[in-house]
């Protein structure tokens, strides 16, 4: 499992993008009008957005309170030190939990049975393998210190006891959150926007049975303009952050 985890760790960023692309695979719905009535789409949108935003909240708190440098070196697990503060005092892999919830949420938002039943289990297997590979590295590097940490803190299930004290005793570094998360946020928001526009045209006033061709054409142009504006704003903000970061005008 360690060798499998090392392989997936090396290509984890590309794998994450592929899992986002899988959101648009044609699939039977999780929620349909036959089961939940005419406004069935309220369920996948509300549940999906809640779960995916909760995952992003976990990532944000983790990075803003006590960031862990575990980005890898030469495609292999790497860590400067053993970080046990902040959210890491309650769960060993809060960033990965955030990622899992983010993908699970957008999968529900996409109303995709294939994504929920097939893609997510594959994603969980990959993350389990990556975590085992990382823990193998950390155990070899930090020895007894890491073993003691594992005894106190669960790998996946957060320990909620004392979470209020943790949040209250540390200052949230919002600049670090933006600097470290802006790319993830950009991809995430792009995915949510495309899912909402493609899967739920009724949200933008689209009439499935327009009276004539001109009405259908007008609806199409309106939706394209709105989509273009939203994507343009997201791209502008992303490039602005990249520019400010590169020029040193925005830093921790």
Each residue's pLDDT tens digit, 11-67: 777 787 888 888 888 899 999 888 888 888 999 999 999 999 999 999 999 998 876
User: Is a pLDDT exceeding 90 seen at residue 120?
Assistant: yes
223 vs 245, higher pLDDT: 245
221 vs 71, higher pLDDT: 221
**pLDDT tens digit sequence for 184-199:** 999 999 999 999 998 9
Q: Which of helix, strand or coil describes residue 170?
A: coil
- Please tell us whether the domain made up of 2-170 is placed in CATH 2.60.40: no
Task: Say how many C-beta atoms besides its own lie within 10 A of residue 98's C-beta.
Answer: 23
Among 4-8, 172-176, 220-224, top mean pLDDT goes to 172-176
Q: Which of helix, strand or coil describes residue 75?
A: coil
Distance CA 231, CA 175 (A): 23
pTM metric for this prediction = 0.87
In this structure, is the dihedral angle defined by the CA atoms of residues 227, 60, 73 and 137, taken in order, positive or negative? negative
Q: What percent of the chain stands above pLDDT 90?
A: 50
Quickly state the pLDDT bin for 109 (edges 50, 70, 90).
very high
Q: Which of helix, strand or coil describes residue 76?
A: strand
Domain boundaries, the chain: 2-170
User: Is a pLDDT exceeding 70 seen at residue 217?
Assistant: no
Q: Identify any residues that bridge with 76 across adjacent strands, giving them in sequence order.
A: 73
At residue 178, the pLDDT reads: 93
Helical ranges in the chain per DSSP H: 2-10, 12-21, 33-36, 42-65, 94-109, 113-114, 120-142, 144-152, 163-169, 174-199, 213-246
Please report where in the chains the tokens 């925005």 appear, as a residue.
250
Q: Which of helix, strand or coil describes residue 210?
A: coil
Average pLDDT, the chain: 86
**pLDDT tens digit sequence for 129-143:** 999 999 998 898 888
Q: Quick check: 52 and 105 in contact, CB under 8 A?
A: yes
| Encoded tokens for 60 | 């944000």
């Amino acid at each position: 499992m360690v060798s499998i985890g090392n392989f997936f760790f090396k290509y984890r960023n590309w794998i994450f993008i592929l899992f986002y692309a899988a959101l648009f695979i044609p699939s039977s719905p999780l929620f349909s009008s036959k089961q939940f009535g005419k406004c069935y789409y309220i369920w996948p949108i509300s549940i999906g957005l809640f779960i995916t935003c909760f995952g992003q909240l976990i990532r944000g708190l983790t990075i803003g309170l006590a960031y862990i440098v575990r980005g890898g070196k030469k495609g292999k697990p790497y860590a400067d030190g053993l970080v046990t503060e902040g959210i890491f005092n309650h769960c060993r892999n809060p960033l990965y939990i955030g990622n899992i919830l983010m993908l699970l949420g957008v999968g529900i938002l996409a109303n995709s049975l294939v994504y929920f039943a097939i893609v997510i289990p594959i994603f969980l297997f990959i993350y389990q393998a990556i975590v085992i590979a990382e823990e193998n590295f950390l155990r070899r590097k930090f020895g007894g210190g890491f073993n003691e940490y594992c005894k106190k803190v669960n790998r996946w299930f957060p320990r909620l006891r004392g979470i209020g004290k943790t949040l209250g005793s540390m200052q949230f570094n919002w600049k670090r959150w933006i600097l470290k998360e802006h790319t993830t946020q950009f991809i995430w928001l792009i995915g949510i926007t495309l899912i909402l526009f493609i899967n739920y045209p009724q949200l933008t006033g689209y009439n499935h049975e327009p009276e004539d061709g001109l009405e259908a054409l007008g609806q199409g142009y309106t939706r394209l303009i709105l989509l273009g504006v939203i994507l343009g704003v997201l791209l502008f903000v992303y490039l602005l952050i990249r520019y400010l970061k590169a020029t040193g005008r925005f830093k921790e």
